[in-house]
Amino acid sequence: MRTRSKQSGLTLPEMVVVIATIALLVGFGLPAIRALMNSFETQSGAKTLISAMLASARAIAAKEQSYAGIRFQQDSAGNQYMVFIVHEEPGKMGGLTIGFRAIKGVKPIKLPEKVAIVDLAYNSALLNPSGDGIVDNDIEMNDINVLRDTMTFSIIFSPAGKLVIHDVRVRNRDGIYQPDNGAADKVSMDDIFNSPGNINNFGVGVFIQDDYPAMGLGAELSRNSFVIIYEKDKFEQARGIGRAWSDYLAQMAPHRIYINSYTGTMILPD
């Protein structure tokens, strides 16, 4: 006796109903997703995002039993990111005896486009290239390297989870000083930190490593505070208007956010 096999699957009407249901769910969900993303553009949203990153950096320092933290830095398109970094002991970065590297497998987190996180400390060598002790106002206002230096800094935690002021020099994982993939002995395939040439010419890396002090990217101390600017476009436009940029930053000083040395939490201004 022959038995009729039972066929599995959906009929055409059932398929239409399923597709329509998915479309409705997506339609209802998109506004909620947009609202979540837009929330990070607000003051409270940006602070929540940074707070979560600081907590994660402390956890990484404890897990790795090494100095670790967050690096704030722009890419070549001017977008600012937060990158998790960890310190490497001497001898573990090839020819580079000291330095921090990006944590492998952890993607940088892009900050909202309207927001800028800045360090109020200037690099005196950039502002006074002649060494005569007099700040060059034209360079202060217009040099992109000064802007890059202001928006590039690190916050570091010790293995015990305490905020510390530590020497920071962020470099590629391959241990190459000023890498150049056009030279056989200078190749670095680090996909996070690399040289300007490798980023622009070979598409390897996103952020410039700390081997270019003339560009505002050299060794420096980590920070314990920062300022969140919610009108990034106005902040950058002020660079070319007299002393507007310096005045803008001076006005931001009372809004500086410090980090609690023991808990890693942000201490918000009154």
166, pLDDT greater than 50: yes
With left for phi above 0 and alpha for psi between -120 and 50, is residue 244 left, alpha or beta?
alpha
User: Is residue 38 situated within a structural domain?
Assistant: no
User: Is residue 12 situated within a structural domain?
Assistant: no
Q: Residues 151-155: what's their mean pLDDT? A: 94
What residues make up the domain containing 89? 43-267
User: Is residue 8 situated within a structural domain?
Assistant: no
66, pLDDT greater than 80: yes
Predicted TM-score (pTM) of the model is 0.78
- Whether 148 and 215 have beta carbons less than 8 Å apart is answered as yes
pLDDT tens digit sequence for 184-243 = 999 999 999 999 999 999 999 999 999 998 888 999 999 999 999 888 887 777 765 555
SS3 163: strand
User: Is residue 20 situated within a structural domain?
Assistant: no
Token representation of residue 13: 């009407």
- Whether 204 and 191 have beta carbons less than 8 Å apart is answered as yes
| Better-predicted residue by pLDDT, 187 or 123 | 187
Task: Quickly list DSSP for 76-135.
Answer: TTS-EEEEEEEEE-TTSBTTB-SEEEEPTT-PPEEPPTT-EEE-----HHHH-TT-SS--
- Whether 74 and 190 have beta carbons less than 8 Å apart is answered as no
Q: Residues 119-126: what's their mean pLDDT? A: 66
> Which helix H or strand E contains 15, and what residues bound it?
helix 12-39
Q: Residues 72-101: what's their mean pLDDT? A: 82
> Which helix H or strand E contains 220, and what residues bound it?
strand 220-221
User: Is residue 23 situated within a structural domain?
Assistant: no
251, pLDDT greater than 90: no
Sequence-separated (6 or more) residues with CB below 8 Å from residue 18: 10
The total number of structural domains that make up the chain? 1
User: Is residue 21 situated within a structural domain?
Assistant: no
User: Is residue 219 situated within a structural domain?
Assistant: yes
Task: Quickly list DSSP for 35-83.
Answer: HHHHHTTSHHHHHHHHHHHHHHHHHHHHHHTS-EEEEEEE-TTS-EEEE
> Which helix H or strand E contains 23, and what residues bound it?
helix 12-39
User: Is residue 175 situated within a structural domain?
Assistant: yes
> Which helix H or strand E contains 259, and what residues bound it?
strand 257-259
Q: Among 165, 164, 170, which Cα is nearest to 216's?
A: 170
Longest dimension (CA), the chain: 104
Token representation of residue 94: 């090839």
